[in-house]
Amino acid sequence: MDPRAFRRFKKNKGALFGAFLVTIVLLVAFVGPFVSSQDPNEQYRTQLLTDEGVPRGPMVVPGHLLGGDTIGRDELARLLHGGAVSMQVAIFATALTVLIGLYVGVTSGFFGGLYDSVLMRLVDVLLSMPFLLVAIAINRVVDNPALSALYVLLGLISWTTLARVTRAKTMQVREMEYVQAARALGLSRTRIVFRHVLPNVLGPAIVIGTTLVAQMIIVESAMSYLGLGVQPPRASWGSMLREGQEMMAHAPRLMLYPAAFIVMAVFGFNLLGEGLRDAFDPKD
C-alpha cells in the first residue's frame, strides 16, 4: 500500500470511525460466537418467558445478559451467532458481486464489440428476472442448501448494476489520452487495463460495493424467510429482525438489537468505503 494513501486515510476522521465500527461488528460476528457460553437455539421457556409468554428483559435473569427472545431463547447468544451468519453472507456475497461486476464491466467496456453486446444482453436478461422468483425457483431445485450456496447465488444475481456502472466509466476512461498514450508506448493490454483503466474506475465500484454489504444483510433475511439459506432455528440478524416484529409492542428491543448491529455494519462499511476511495485518490 502506498504510504501516502495510508496517511490520507489516517487523517480522515470519518474513515477511521468507519473502520472502528466495522471492527466492532466483525469482532461481534466472528469472535462473539466463541465467547458466548449459551446455546443460541435452546429454549429456556421457564426462565426467559413470563407466564403470559412475554420475553423477559435484559439484566433480569442471571446468565442471560440480554434476556430472552420471542420463544425464550438467549437473545445475546442469538445476536452473536446470528452476526456470524449475516456478516459471512454479506461479505462473501458482496465480494463475489464486486469481482464479477468489475470483471464484466471493465472487460466489456474496454473491448466493446460483440463481446460487450452479448454480456450486456445477459445483464438485461438478469435484470428482467424478479430476484425473489429466481430464489424461489432455485429453492425448488436445491434441497436444504448450504450457507455458501446462498452467497454464491446472491453474488451471481447481483453483479448487474455494478457491471453497468463500471462499464460506462471504463468506456469514458478508455478514451482518455493517457490510455492512448499507453497504447502508443506499446504497453500490453493487460497492463493498460490493470494500471490505467482499473484504478480509475474503482471509485464508483467501491461505493456501490459498500452499500451492497448493507443490502445483502437485508436480502439474506428475506431469503431465509423463503426457506433458502439460513433455516430456523438458526439465527441471523435479518431473521431476528423479522421475528422481533411479532412482539414489537411488548418487546421492541428484540428488533432494536439486531437493527442496531445492521445499522453499525451499514454505516461502518459506507464510511470505510468512502474513506478508502478518497485515500487512493491522489487528488484529495
Contacts with other proteins, residue ranges (CB under 8 A) = 176-178, 180-187, 195-196, 199-200, 280-283
Distance in angstroms (rounded) separating the CA atoms of residues 150 and 49: 33
Residue 67 in contact with residue 58, Cβ under 8 Å? yes
User: Minimal distance in Å, beta carbon 169 to other proteins?
Assistant: 14
Cβ atoms within 10 Å, residue 90:
30
Please provide the distance, in angstroms rounded to a whole number, between the alpha carbons at the two ends of the chain: 17
Q: Based on CB atoms, which residue is closest to other proteins, 205 or 247?
A: 205
Q: Which is nearer to other proteins, 165 or 281 (CB)?
A: 281
Element (H, E) at 226: none
- In the complex, minimum distance from the CB of residue 116 to other proteins, in angstroms, rounded to a whole number: 12
CB of 64 to other proteins, least distance (A): 53
Report, in Å, the least distance between residue 279 CB and other proteins. Answer: 12
Segments of 87-131 assigned E as strands:
none
For residue 117, with 0-12 CB atoms within 10 Å meaning exposed, 13-18 middle and 19 or more buried, which class applies? Answer: exposed
Residues 6+ apart with CB under 8 A from 44: 64, 68, 72, 73, 74
- Closest to other proteins by CB, 141 vs 184, is 184
For the bound state, the minimum distance from the C-beta of residue 73 to other proteins, rounded and expressed in Å, comes to 51
Instruction: Note whether 158 and 93 are within 8 A (CB).
Output: yes
Closest to other proteins by CB, 57 vs 112, is: 112
117 vs 231, which CB is nearer to other proteins? 117
In single-letter form, the type of residue at position 236 comes to S
Q: Which residue lies nearer to other proteins by CB, 4 or 45?
A: 4
**Minimal distance in Å, beta carbon 195 to other proteins?**
7
CB-CB contact of 224 with 231 (8 Å): yes
In terms of CB distance, is 261 or 280 closer to other proteins?
280
Please provide the size of the chain in residues.
284
C-alpha–C-alpha distance, residues 33 and 41, integer Å: 13
Report the nearest approach of other proteins to the CB of residue 111 (Å).
14
The residue among 90, 123, 100, 109 whose CA lies nearest residue 22 is 90
